[in-house]
Amino acid sequence: MDINLAGRTAVVTGGSKGIGLAVVSQLAASGARVVTGAKHLSPEIEELARDKQVTFVEVDLADPDGPAQLVAAAGDRVDILVNNVGNAQARLSGFLSLTDEDWSATLALNLMAAVRATRAALPGMLAVGAGVIIMTCSVNARLPDPAVIDYSAAKAGLAGFAKALSKEVGPHGIRVNTVSPGPVATDLWLGSDGVAASVSQATGAKPTDVEDQAAAQSVTGRFTQPAEVAALILYLASDQAANITGSDFAIDGGFIPTW
Q: Is the dihedral of CA 125, 59, 63, 135 positive or negative?
A: positive
- From residue 230, alpha-carbon distances to 66, 222, 223 in Å are 23, 17, 14
DSSP 8-state symbol, 110 = I
Determine the residue type at 218: S
CB 16 within 8 A of CB 41: yes
Neighbours of 23 (CB within 10 A): 32
Question: How far apart are alpha carbons 7 and 239 in whole angstroms?
Answer: 13
Question: How far apart are alpha carbons 3 and 245 in whole angstroms?
Answer: 18
Which SS3 state, helix, strand or coil, does residue 124 take?
helix
Among the listed residues 23, 82, 90, 151, the single catalytic one is: 151
Pairing of strands 248-251, 80-83: unpaired
Is 235 an active-site residue? no
CB 35 within 8 A of CB 120: no
Which SS3 state, helix, strand or coil, does residue 191 take?
coil
DSSP 8-state symbol, 96 = G
Residues assigned a catalytic role: 151
